[in-house]
Amino acid sequence: MTAVRVPGTPVIEDGRLVSTSPATGAEAGRLPVATAADVEAAVARARAAAAWWAGLGFNGRRERLLRWRALLAKRIEELAELVHVEGGKPVADAIVEVVTAVEHVDWAARNARRVLGPRRVRSRLVLAEFSAHLEYQPFGVVGVIGPWNYPVFTPIGSTAYALAAGNTVVFKPSEYTPAVGQWLVDTFAEVVGEQPVLSAVHGFGDVGAALCRSGVDKVAFTGSTATAKRVMAACAESLTPVLIEAGGKDAMIVDTDADLDAAANAAVWGGLTNAGQTCIGIERVYVVEPVFDAFVDKVVQRAGRLTVGADGTDIGPITMPSQLDVIRRHIDDAVARGGRAVLGGPDAVQPPYVHPTVLVDVPEDSAAVREETFGPTLTINPVRDADEAVARANALPYGLGGSVFGRRRAVAVAARLRSGMASVNSALTFAGMSTLPFGGVGESGFGRIHGEDGLREFAHAKAVTRRRARSLLPAMTFDRTEADVARLVKVVKMMYGR
């Protein structure tokens, strides 16, 4: 039976998941849907492959991951085109996404040994007769569950780091972008064909739920906060550790001494790139009063020039058709409650597109300020000073990223944002800095991908002590005498009792 297709909405036909372009409805991918038994079998195969992959050591994995990186770089146009066709993202945005992912594969491959490899750590006087050794060992099999909005960058942020750390990965791509997910798996198999080190299972949310219950050793989830709670509940049943990269409602703060052109440029790009469907996208801007009007003018001028459409434009379609209702509701609610649309507005929603919309003086308790909009919209509200801006930015349960524009106080203001990341005088740039960890606080999740923390996220510490001399003060043995204990008391008072 053939289901009725709404462009962009995935359907299952004859046991196959069919993804389509949200702009044209053209078929983009057709992948077999996994049953719970298929998911378990994929995890069993990944478990068998894990010993081989871990056994290659850091150097063997580095060499293979760097070959994958080279392949991704060489075929960047092909991958960007697939991202464009399947999710609607403008090709230029897709290219930027792949470039960032390639950089992360490179860094994870090159740095895993240094960060995770065996090393001696210092002994302390109290156990000086032992040497101390530390290494970070892989968990085994990691389940990666990904979203559709950055179908390359986001899963690679977990996958590259998990693989570099010595794990194998079973990946459940979003139902909206299964072809991109399978492309990543297939290209990895071109360079690592011996064993199923990276595999994919396709389907709707139930396949993700099956992955959580499949006995994987860790789940790396990226997606909405609501689904994250379900993932955690499923993982709790087997005490499977989870990494949660969830939603956000990031704010930009513009201080009096900011370069307003640069700030407007970053607000428009940070808020509207990928049609605003960005977890770390700028959705709210707080501008100190003296520069508010000038800033809004510059934003409106820039955002008003952006082109909207299927091909060769700045802003593509909304990938997930159901999101159009959320965006419409946020705009309507903001305007109904006294906000002003200085660009776009309720008429901006023209499925499958949303035209750039800038809303000012929007009540702080409205949906457009409090909930993730995930559309090409910005709210801009005036504040007395940077302190009020910080208080408003921090007033939500989310805490993913953020941005601050200014000179004298900007770094200090960025430190006060309740968020896992911040950019000073730019927007979103922390995502591409492979040396920095990526992740949020509060309802934006916990755990980190990228950087040294991102590598450690996919390995557990293994601590070993090794005797190197006889104990002068035997304590951890029943052979100790009363005199030994008395000497111990004396030493501890001498060392720590002052």
Among residues 245, 283, 372, 457, which one is catalytic?
245
Q: Which position among 175, 279, 452, 457 bears the catalytic label? A: 279
φ/ψ bin of 7: left (φ > 0), alpha (ψ from -120 to 50), beta (otherwise): beta
- Judged by CB, which is closer to ligand NDP: 243, or 410? 243
CA distances from 299 to 256, 263, 271, 304, 311 (A): 16, 9, 11, 8, 24
Q: Which of residues 372-391 bind ligand NDP (CB under 6 A)?
A: 372
Among 209, 252, 318, 380, contact with ligand NDP (rule: CB under 6 A): 209
d(CA 301, CA 384): 24
Say if residues 167 and 198 touch (Cβ distance below 8 Å).
no
Q: How many CA atoms lie within 13 A of 77 on its CB side?
A: 0
- Of 472, 444, 387, nearest to 225 by C-alpha is 444
CB of 20 or CB of 149, closer to ligand NDP: 149
Q: Of residues 138, 166, 223, 339, which one binds ligand NDP by CB under 6 A?
A: 223
Binding residue for ligand NDP, selected from 33, 246, 263, 296, defined by CB under 6 A: 246
Cis ω on the peptide bond leading into residue 7 (within 30° of 0)? Answer: no
| Calpha distance 169→141 (Å, rounded) | 6
Quick one: which of 111, 149, 159, 403 contacts ligand NDP (CB under 6 A)?
149
Query: Which residue matches tokens 């090393």?
Result: 119
Q: Which residue has the tokens 């139930």?
A: 206
Pairwise CA distance, residues 72 & 62, whole Å: 15
- Residue 251 β-bridge partners: 284
Minimum CB distance to ligand NDP smaller for 130 or for 204: 204
- Tell me: does residue 442 bind ligand NDP (CB under 6 A): no
Is residue 482 part of the annotated active site? The answer reads no
Residue 39 vs 383, nearer CB to ligand NDP: 39
Rounded to a whole number of angstroms, the minimum distance from the CB of residue 320 to ligand NDP is 6
**Distance separating alpha carbons of residues 72 and 146, to the nearest angstrom:** 19
Q: Which is nearer to ligand NDP, 47 or 230 (CB)?
A: 230
Pick the closer one to ligand NDP by CB: 376 or 445. 445
Which stretch in 70-78, 221-229, 328-336, 356-364 sits in contact with ligand NDP by CB under 6 A?
221-229
The HSE-up count of residue 133 (CA atoms within 13 Å, CB side) is 10
Sorted by sequence, the CB contacts under 8 Å of residue 92 that are 6+ apart come out as none
User: What whole-number distance in Å separates Cα of residue 181 and Cα of residue 32?
Assistant: 13
247: contact with ligand NDP by CB under 6 A: yes
Residues numbered 168 to 207 that lie near ligand NDP (CB under 6 A) are 172, 174-175, 204-205
Interacting residue with ligand NDP among 146, 376, 399, 442 (CB under 6 A) = 146
Q: At 409, list the tokens.
A: 């106080």
Comparing C-alpha atoms, which of 123, 51, 132, 104 is closest to residue 461? 132
Which of 8, 138, 147, 151 is close enough to bind ligand NDP by CB under 6 A?
A: 147
Of the residues 90, 138, 143, 208, which one makes contact with ligand NDP according to CB under 6 A = 208
From residue 377, alpha-carbon distances to 96, 193, 282, 348, 404 in Å are 21, 44, 9, 10, 19
150 is an interface residue for ligand NDP by CB under 6 A: yes
Least distance (Å) between residue 174 CB and ligand NDP? 4
Binding ligand NDP (rule: CB under 6 A), the pick from 142, 145, 390, 455 is 145
Q: Is 151 in the site for ligand NDP (CB under 6 A)?
A: no
Q: What is the rounded CA–CA span in Å between residue 38 and residue 74?
A: 32
**C-beta of 121: minimal distance to ligand NDP in Å?**
32
Find the binding residues for ligand NDP in span 315-344 (CB under 6 A).
Answer: none
User: Catalytic residue at 245?
Assistant: yes
Tell me: does residue 243 bind ligand NDP (CB under 6 A).
Answer: no
Distance CA 131, CA 253 (A): 50
**What is the side-by-side strand order in the sheet with 130-138?**
119-121, 130-138, 459-467
Round to the nearest angstrom and report the end-to-end CA distance of the chain.
81
Residue 100 binds ligand NDP (CB under 6 A)? no
Which lies closer to ligand NDP via its Cβ, residue 246 or residue 296?
246
Binding mask 255-294 for ligand NDP (x = CB under 6 A): ------------------------x---------------
Interface size with ligand NDP, residues (CB under 6 A): 30
The tokens describing 213, both together, are: 């219950």
Name the residues that contact ligand NDP, by CB under 6 A. 145-150, 154, 172, 174-175, 204-205, 208-209, 212, 222-224, 227, 230-231, 245-248, 279, 372, 400, 440, 445
Give the residue numbers marked as catalytic: 245, 279
